[in-house]
Structure 1
Amino acid sequence: MTATKADLHRFVGRYVGAADDAQDLLQETYAAAWFAMKRYDPARPFDVWLRAIALNKCRDWSRRRAVRRVVRGIMGLDAPEALTVDDDTPLMESTLDDRRRAQALQHALAELPDALKAPLLLAALKGRSHAQVADLLGITPKAVETRIARARKKLAEKLPSST
């Protein structure tokens, strides 16, 4: 089964948290795959190979972004814009709350360290087994399990409870 553009875009988008950046990284991924096609091993699944390239592009993006933050001295580049809703639209309020929760999740995911973010996205959101994730990342399945647990704990700490 090969990875579709939409599937890979969702993966990259969840990793970086910004649609424009995700689109740019997706294009970089396909360009890198095209140039690296001679190195592709047909014995491995193509979608795993393509996802590994995308993951490397995401990691590179995260490192560049961290450097820019340090150089500029800016720590909050992803501050969500204020959204306003009229009082006479109760249905819109629930949609707005859902959107704010989704933005908070995207922001929290984007802030996770790469070592925790990649296993979480590959296993929990993409449905890969711990063994598949371990193979892709070059770590043990137990390390995958531990990193996913740590990522979930960090997300729970950063996200407001919905009670």
Structure 2
Amino acid sequence: MRRHKGRLHAFARRHLGDADAALDVVQESFVAAWKALDRYDPARPFPTWLAAIALNKCRDRGRRLKVRRLILGERSIDAPGTPDYADPASGPEDEALRSERMAGLEAAIARLPDQLKEPLILTALEGLSQQEAADLLKISAKAVETRVYRARRRLADWLAGA
């Protein structure tokens, strides 16, 4: 768990846009992995198997939130939190600007539809190859490439308009 929790948390945070929800997903993912350990295929990389579990947990959480929002409407409790990343070398103004930009980017990534968000996070942020992401998402490598391109274009448009 120590070896993989940081990477899984970063993945889930990027997918969900909420650091606290990401912690829950990481815990749920490790519990699910423990229960499914007998079904793990040693021919596949273990971190990729864990990422697939975390991805499914993120999707489950997203579906639950959509249902909750449909029933209850928009509530501030559902608003994504913004993580605080401090850089001791920068001044307060630089840090505030950087934090604001990072929060805007994370919020924009969280707003992407899952079909665009997932390939972007897996390839650009998690460092998986297009083929590894394609295998994980059960789509072609060309579909991953196209979706990453579309996600980047949409993010650029949103951030330029903001």
State whether TM-score is above 0.5: yes
| Backbone CA RMSD of aligned residues | 2.1
Partner of 1:141: 141
Secondary structure at the aligned position of 2:101 is classed as helix
- Counting only pairs closer than 5 Å after superposition, residues 13-162 of structure 1 correspond to structure 2 as 13-74=13-74, 77-78=78-79, 91-160=91-160
Moved more, 51-60 or 67-76: 67-76
Stretches of structure 2 that go unaligned for 5 or more consecutive residues are 83-90
CA distance in structure 2 between the aligned counterparts of 1:111 and 1:63, rounded to whole angstroms: 14
Paired positions, count: 152
Stretches of structure 1 that go unaligned for 5 or more consecutive residues are 82-90
CA distance in structure 2 between the aligned counterparts of 1:128 and 1:80, rounded to whole angstroms: 26
CA distance in structure 2 between the aligned counterparts of 1:136 and 1:43, rounded to whole angstroms: 14
- Normalised by the length of structure 2, the TM-score is 0.86
8 Å contact kept, 1:15–1:110: yes
Superposed CA deviations along residues 38-84 of structure 1, whole A, max 9, x for unmatched, are: 11111111111111000000111111111111112217742779xxx
Runs (4 or more) in structure 1 with deviation over 4 Å come to none
CA distance in structure 1 between the aligned counterparts of 2:4 and 2:80, rounded to whole angstroms: 31
What is the CA distance between 1:93 and its match in structure 2?
A: 2.1
8 Å contact kept, 2:25–2:58: yes
The percentage of counterpart residues that share the same residue type is 50
Q: Which has the larger radius of gyration?
A: 1
- Normalised by the length of structure 1, the TM-score is 0.85
8 Å contact kept, 2:29–2:53: yes
